[in-house]
């Protein structure tokens, strides 16, 4: 716990306005650069609020503004530029497969997908862009994104504030979570290895049976000729 206290003391030395600006920028650019861990930073900001370093309401407002404005920015670019603009610049992040997945979700869920896109890390930025490419009206998009970012950021901020004074509990939860993931990974790896071995063994058996049949056919042909 000492390193957390040292971290809080280190952050406390900076003006709150600077910290709010950093939180806003991270929440904004997460929509442009998906590898940025925006959700983790939101929880961290809320944790600092729970520790009394920042104001809870201001943390929520600044990070919500960052998330909302970032979402609307990528939507606006998609609305004006189209899919090719993104694929040409970063085909790994904005891959055709991700756009195709987002379009299938749009066809199935419509506006609900935009509202809850914050719950879909990895494709949330593509969903905002796809909404622009698909021609969703700006006012409707703004309403959807207001609801979505309020719900998601609200949950994250509430969680961060809730654990701000009890970080030990979160550490225990994360350790348990990591253990469960490790067990599931081992089980999945073991199951995959068993399936691979079974297929390999069956393939070898089939190949052996084929060779034996060929030998028998050749022996029968030899007896017939003799």
Tens digit of pLDDT per residue, the chain (226 long)? 555 667 677 777 888 888 899 889 988 888 777 666 677 777 788 888 877 788 888 988 998 999 899 889 988 988 888 777 777 777 776 777 777 777 777 777 777 878 887 777 666 777 787 788 878 888 988 998 898 888 888 888 887 777 766 666 666 776 776 677 778 878 887 887 788 878 777 765 555 555 555 555 555 555 544 4
Helix (H) or strand (E) holding 168: helix 167-225
Q: For 171-208, write each residue's pLDDT tens digit.
A: 677 677 667 777 887 888 788 778 887 877 776 555 55
Helix (H) or strand (E) holding 161: helix 138-163
Angle between helices 56-81 and 38-50 (to 10 degrees): 160
**Which of 23, 24, 153, 148 has the alpha carbon at shortest distance from 75?**
148
Rounded CA-CA distance 84/94 in Å is 10
Contact indicator for 36, 30 with CB cutoff of 8 Å: yes
Contact indicator for 89, 49 with CB cutoff of 8 Å: no
């Amino acid at each position: 716990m000492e390193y957390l206290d040292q971290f809080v003391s280190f952050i406390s030395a900076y003006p709150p306005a600077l910290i709010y600006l950093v939180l806003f920028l991270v929440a904004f650019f997460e929509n442009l650069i998906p590898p940025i861990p925006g959700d983790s930073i939101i929880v961290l900001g809320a944790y600092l609020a729970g520790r009394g370093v920042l104001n809870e309401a201001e943390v929520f407002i600044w990070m919500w503004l960052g998330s909302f404005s970032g979402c609307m920015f990528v939507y606006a670019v998609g609305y004006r530029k189209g899919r090719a603009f993104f694929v040409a610049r970063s085909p790994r992040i904005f891959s055709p497969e991700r756009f195709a997945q987002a379009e299938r979700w749009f066809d199935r869920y419509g506006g609900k997908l935009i509202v809850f896109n914050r719950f879909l890390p990895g494709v949330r930025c593509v969903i905002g862009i796809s909404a622009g490419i698909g021609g969703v009206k700006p006012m409707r998009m703004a309403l959807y994104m207001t609801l979505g970012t309020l719900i998601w950021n609200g949950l994250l901020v509430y969680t961060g504030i809730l654990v701000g004074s009890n970080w030990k509990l979160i550490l225990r939860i994360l350790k348990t979570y990591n253990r469960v993931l490790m067990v599931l990974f081992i089980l999945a790896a073991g199951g995959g290895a068993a399936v691979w071995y079974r297929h390999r063994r069956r393939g070898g058996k089939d190949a052996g049976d084929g060779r034996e049949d060929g030998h028998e056919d050749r022996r029968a042909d030899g007896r017939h000729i003799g």
